Chain A
Amino acid sequence: MTEALITLHYEESGIVILQMQDQAKKNALGTVFVEKLTEALHQVAQRAEVRVCVLRGLEEVFCAGGDEEMLLALAQGKIVASDIMLSRTMLEVPIPTIAVMEGHAVGGGLTLGLCCDIVMMARESRYGCSFMNMGFTPGMGTTRLLALAVGEYIAAEMMLGGQFFRGAHFEGRSQINYILPREQMWRKAMQVAAAIAEKPRFALEMLKRDLSLKKRRLFEEARTNEVPMHQYCFALPETAQRIQENYVSTKKH
């Protein structure tokens, strides 16, 4: 392995930057990547001196969502959707989390960001739910968490139609904290993080736990309904075929 897929950078101010940097696979959620990301989130949770976690992806891609191998494993029954607990791991980080989605975020990758307490999008990047483009219903808590972020009607359009909207599309009609030109995002993220990092850890932890309750409930509710829908969709042979067809193009780009 050349470079780490995930790095953690601890700043003296109490900010930890979790950088997802799998250039080759565009931060797609594959088995190894998810394992490393989960490990990193657990590490963050254990460090007593950190007070806020900033989740960052690559400039062009925040996270590309489930990779082909992971989706095919689901379709082939090698793993079950209920095993994918990344959203919960993200929701359970004991300190406040900020998703700085400078690049595209697709499917589970978008939902990963939405599991954070504070969310930032780039005006020019695209955000969408690709699940139904491959013929299966959304997972990772998307069915409830997306509606929380962008409203039920816009979430329904995104999940049913599978379009990729520019960040600018959500301006003035979502709960997203900041939708900015990409080059302005990092500075703003650091300002937001710094304001949080000066508060005491015990109070941040209690308040985070309280404020995230709604999302954690929604995630459990989503999971309850998403898993049986997945079981149905993934049992159909055409789903595996659609997944393979979908990934033909992304392999070369």
Chain B
Amino acid sequence: MTKEKIFSIVKKNLLDILEDADESAVTPDKSMKELGANSLDIVEVVSTSMRELKVKIPRSELNTLTNIGQLVDALYAAVNNKVDA
């Protein structure tokens, strides 16, 4: 799976969860907070995306991420590790 595909999954979930977010504003350099997400909105976006991609990223790692691009990278790495395993 490509990074672009993962970004589109995260973006779709984010727009579903944050009903009033502006689609064009969702870019990898943005944080979900900047897009108006509160702490539990973020939990929902991340857990829904992990479920969809059938991967789990430890909370300790998620905690270090600061923008959407980094989340996509972490999901991308997790998806590829799963394929290798």
The answer to whether A104 and B39 touch (CB under 8 A), given A163-B44, A245-B58, is yes
Interfacial chain A residues near B39, Cβ < 8 Å: 60, 104, 253
A1 interface residue, CB < 8 Å from B? Answer: no
Q: Which A residues are in CB contact (< 8 Å) with B60?
A: 248-249
Residue-wise, chain A 146-169 has the 8 Å CB interface mask toward B (1 for contact) of: 000000000000000001101010
CB of A125 within 8 Å of the partner chain: yes
A245 and B59 contact, Cβ closer than 8 Å, known pairs A163-B44, A164-B43: yes
Tell me if B63 and A126 are in contact (CB < 8 A): no
Q: Is A22 an interface residue (CB 8 A)?
A: no
Say if the beta carbon of A117 comes within 8 Å of chain B: no
Complex contact A104–B38 (CB within 8 A): yes
CB contacts (< 8 Å) of A60 on chain B: these are: 38-39
Q: Does A252 contact B (CB under 8 A)?
A: yes
Identity of the chain A residue whose Cβ is nearest the Cβ of B17 in the assembled complex: A166
How far, in whole Å, are A28 and B2 apart by their CA atoms in the complex?
Answer: 40
A124 within 8 A of B: yes
Q: How far is the CB of B51 from chain A (nearest CB, A)?
A: 10
Q: Chain B residues near A104: list those with CB within 8 A.
A: 38-40
- Cβ-based interface call for A128 (8 A): yes
Contacts A245-B58, A248-B59, A248-B60 given: A124-B40 contact, CB under 8 Å? no
Cα A245 to Cα B19 with chains together (Å): 29
Assess the B63–A249 pair: CB atoms within 8 A: yes
- A246 at the binding interface (Cβ < 8 Å): yes
Q: Does B41 contact A (CB under 8 A)?
A: yes
Query: Which of A124, A248, A249, A252 contacts B38 (CB under 8 A)?
Result: A124
**Residues of B contacting A245 with CB < 8 Å?**
58-59
Q: Which chain B residue lies CB-closest to A163?
A: B44
- Chain A contacts for B77, CB-based, 8 A: none
CB proximity to B under 8 Å, residues A226-253: 245-246, 248-249, 252-253
CB-CB under 8 A from B44, the residues of chain A are 126, 163-164
A163 to B46, CA, bound (A): 12
Q: How far is the CB of A39 from chain B (nearest CB, A)?
A: 29
Expressed in whole angstroms, the minimum distance between the Cβ of B38 and any Cβ of chain A is: 7
One digit per residue, 1 when the CB lies within 8 angstroms of any chain A CB and 0 when it does not, for chain B 40-58 equals 1101100000000000001
Which chain B residue shows the least CB distance to A127?
B40
Q: Which residues from chain B contact A166 at a C-beta distance below 8 Å? A: 19
B residues near A (Cβ < 8 Å) are 19, 38-41, 43-44, 58-60, 62-63
Ordered by A's residue number, 19 sampled pairs between the chains whose C-beta atoms are within 8 Å are: A60-B39, A104-B39, A106-B40, A125-B40, A126-B44, A128-B40, A163-B44, A164-B44, A166-B19, A245-B58, A248-B58, A248-B59, A248-B60, A249-B59, A249-B60, A249-B62, A252-B63, A253-B39, A253-B63
